[in-house]
Structures are given as structure tokens and as C-alpha cells.
Amino acid sequence: MAVHAQAPAPAAPDKRLSALSASFQELSRRVHASVVKVTSVGYRQLEEDESDEPGVAARQQSSGSGVIIDEGGYIVTNAHVVIGAQRVQVTLSSAPANNSPRHSTLRPSGRIMRAQLVGLDLETDVALLKVNEKGLPALHLADSDTVEQGQLVLAFGSPMGLDNSVTMGVVSSAARQLKPDDPMIYIQTDAPINPGNSGGPLVDSEGDVVGINTLILTQSGGSEGIGFAVPSNIVLNVVDQLRKSGRVVRGEIGVTTQTINPALASGWRLSQDWGVVIGDVEPGGEGDKAGLRVGDIILKLNGKAMENARQFNVNVYRPAIGETVTLEVQRGKRTLTMPVKVVERHDEASTYAELASREENLIPELGIFAVDLTATLRDQVAPVRREQGGVLVAARHADGPMIEDGFKAGDVIYAINRANITSVAELRAFLRKLKSGDPVAVQVERSGKLRFISFELP
């Protein structure tokens, strides 16, 4: 009797991938409703080679992204998206609600609304907008201190002007400094971020905002898997202050702190290779009055252990101006408890930024906003060694090239490649003669001292 082999029954399809895909789709629908496109509109004067008629102005606009964080119309974006803009408008999402019938995959553009700039903070590159609308779908700002390396995240925004796009990746680093003792710490992600994503939310698997997409490191100009977002806890602190007063007030105690690294710990024979050390004490400042000294190791602030300089500075920002904080300090073999008064830090960068407009002052080759150093402005910038000429760096542009030991707000540019620079017009004219890859040596004055910033033009 012949025996016939039977083909095995086909395996039932694995539903887990379908369920995972469906969860991403639901999350995207929910988040998209809270993501907006931000457009900054203004005018700039045409250069001589752009128009035969002098004094002709042309309309100019740039775009980024934003996220609704309050149903009352408050929207967070990047400061560099809106700095210097004469008019800001947002395009709300046209995504249908979850219970709406299915629509065409090609959706109409959302509503365009005029937005008011409540305030911005250059140090964190965060800006707060307000639209005259109620009942908007808002996203929750999560606790970014719980973010961990390897965690799944999604980046939303309008890259290259492509409204409401989403990309997926993981957290490459939960706390990344671009330079040692950089005042800012970012969430690094490999979720693709491109120009136009700036200001959009980085969300976790629950759809909560863990960061605001801010900048990328790139050699090609596009995403190379190294993107950075401002952690949501920093955003929340900035937003709270902008809503209350339209500006961010930061406290200080008159000391400069540094993060203890292994080399310093080895040289000083410390028992730990982490923590915070005082590098300088301002004469006559609050730290000096309290008895703090160079070399003191800060163990705790108000009972909370201090692990790095950034953490310490952030915790000094938060107390009210005039409040007294308690430091636990190690000095040699002694442990001291020292009360120190918090005073307001002068935010020079934001003061200078108010002088700049996107149309007249953006120098994209250097990634800065620059203004002519007039006699009146010269009196406000102290100390300045030169008597004439120079261009003031009013602010850095977050989308500008990453330059090692780059420009800072308050720098005065005197020369490029030994050619004197006396105005923004001269600066533009000189840079137009250069091409990508050309060496550039810029002479600047910073805090009363001359120095050179050298790099190759991107």
C-alpha cells in the first residue's frame, strides 16, 4: 500500500509584529495631533549683486517644528527657529481623531495661526509660543531623568519642510555633553533628525515628550544618526519661567565649578573619580563671603549628592533669588556645612540676542548672529580693548557648523585671515570670497583678551 507524505500545515502568522505595528500607528496618530510646523517670517535687504536698485527688501522665511504642551495654546519650539523673526505662525496638524472615519492618506494642510512669542532662552535653545486657541491636544512632558540608554524613542517634526514626519531610533546616550563641562546636557539619539525637525518632540513609547529636538552632528548636512534633544526636565523649568515672566532667571553663588575626572582624581589622590570641584571663587561674591575656597569639593547641595558640574549649576538655578542654599563641602580631611546666598546671574547672552534679527544679522558660514559694534553698544560691552571697528557676536545659531572652541555671545570679531573687519557688511563680503574647505582664522576678543578661532569653512 502506497504511503503518501502529507505537507505540513502552514504555521499560523505571528500576530506580535502586527500588534507592535498597530501600537506604533496609534501612538503616531496621537502624537501628530500635537505637533505643529513653525514658520518665521521677515524681510531682508538684498545685496548689491541681487538687485540693481538699492534698498530693495525681499520676503524671507524659515521653518521648524513645535509641540503643543498646554491645551490653552502654549507651544514649545527652539529659540533658533524664531529668534529675530518679525512674524511667527504655526500650522496645526490636520490629522483626524482616533474615532474619525478613515480619510485619504493625502490630508489637507492644517490651520495656519499667528503665534505670539512669549519668550526664549538661548542657553537651552528653548522658546515658548502662544496661539489664541483653546482645547488643543497637548502632550505630557515626561521625567527625562528616567530616560536610559537603549530606550526606544520617536522623533516628530517637519524635516526639510515635510510636515508631520516621524522617525524611530533609540537613546544613544541619556546625558551627552558636546564639550567637557559644557553648560548644556542633551539626550543623544540615532532617530533620524534633519533641518526642520528643530523644535519637534522626541517621545517615548508612551507618547510622552522626553526631549525637544535641537541639533545634529553631521559632515554631509543631513542626518548621520547623531542627533540631540533638550531633556524635558530642562524644558519644563524654562517654560515655567517664561510663562511667569517672559525670561529665564538663573541663580549663582559666585563660584566656577568643574566635574572631577579620573585624571584630576588621580592627581589629587581622591577616593572617587566623579563629583564637583570649585575651580574659582569670585572675589567679593557670595561664595567668597560664605568662606568657599578653590579646590573645595562639593559633596551635597541641600542634602542632594552632586555628581557633576552641570547637575550642580542646574540645582543652583532653581532656588529663588535671595534664598540660602546649604552646601556640604570636603576640604582636605574635613567635611564642612556652609550656607550660601543665591543671587541673580547676569545673562549676557540673552541681552545681546535682543539686538539681532534673522534677516540682517545671520552669518550662516560661522553659525552666528552678528551686529555692528557701534559707539553706544561699545559702552555696553566691557571691557573692549580696541577703540574702533569690530563686529559683536550677538548669539550663536544652533544649526550652524560645529566649530571646536567656537564663538560665544559677547565675542568681538576684529579680523579674518589678517583682514580687518569693521562691520557686518565687510564680514559678509569677505566670507563670500571664500569657498568650502578654505582655512579661516578669526581674531576675537573675549572677556578683554584677544584670541584666535581657526577652522576650515564648511
* Domains of the chain (ranges, CATH numbers): 25-130 (2.40.10.10), 144-245 (2.40.10.10), 251-344 (2.30.42.10), 348-456 (2.30.42.10)
More confident residue, 130 or 275: 130
* Active-site annotation holder among 28, 34, 40, 198: 198
Q: Is 125 designated active site? A: yes
pLDDT tops 90 at residue 437:
no
State which amino acid sits at residue 5. Answer: A
Average pLDDT on 159-174 reads: 86
Report pLDDT for 165: 87
Predicted confidence band at 358 (pLDDT cuts at 50, 70, 90)? low
User: What span, in angstroms and rounded, lies between the C-alpha atoms of 240 and 236?
Assistant: 6
> In this predicted structure, which of 14-23, 196-205, 396-405 has the lowest mean pLDDT?
396-405
| Highest mean pLDDT out of 291-305, 366-380, 434-448 | 291-305
The tens digit of pLDDT for each residue in 134-145 reads 999 999 999 998
Q: What angle do the packed helices 309-317 and 232-245 form, to 10 degrees?
A: 20
Q: Is 208 designated active site? A: no
* Active-site annotation holder among 28, 63, 65, 80: 80
CA-nearest of 156, 162, 261 to 212 is 156
Distances (CA, A) of 118 to 82, 90, 242, 377, 406: 11, 14, 7, 26, 29
pLDDT tops 80 at residue 357:
no
Share of the chain above pLDDT 70, in %: 78
Q: Is 198 designated active site? A: yes
More confident residue, 374 or 112: 112
Q: Which residues contact 218 (CB under 8 A, 6 or more apart)?
A: 224, 226
Cell of 415: 579680523
pTM for the full model? 0.66
pLDDT tops 70 at residue 148:
yes
User: What span, in angstroms and rounded, lies between the C-alpha atoms of 95 and 26?
Assistant: 12
pLDDT tops 70 at residue 159:
yes
The tens digit of pLDDT for each residue in 281-304 reads 989 999 999 999 999 999 999 999
CB atoms within 10 A of CB 213: 31
* Active-site annotation holder among 121, 125, 163, 411: 125
CA-nearest of 402, 406, 430 to 416 is 430
Cα angle: 113, vertex 114, 118; to 5 degrees? 125
Predicted confidence band at 56 (pLDDT cuts at 50, 70, 90)? very low
CA-nearest of 250, 149, 165 to 213 is 165
| Highest mean pLDDT out of 34-43, 108-117, 206-215, 440-449 | 206-215
User: What span, in angstroms and rounded, lies between the C-alpha atoms of 98 and 137?
Assistant: 12
| Highest mean pLDDT out of 55-64, 234-243, 355-364, 448-457 | 234-243
The tens digit of pLDDT for each residue in 305-315 reads 998 887 888 78
Cα angle: 175, vertex 180, 184; to 5 degrees? 50
CA dihedral 248, 249, 252, 258 (to 10 degrees): 0
Predicted confidence band at 103 (pLDDT cuts at 50, 70, 90)? low
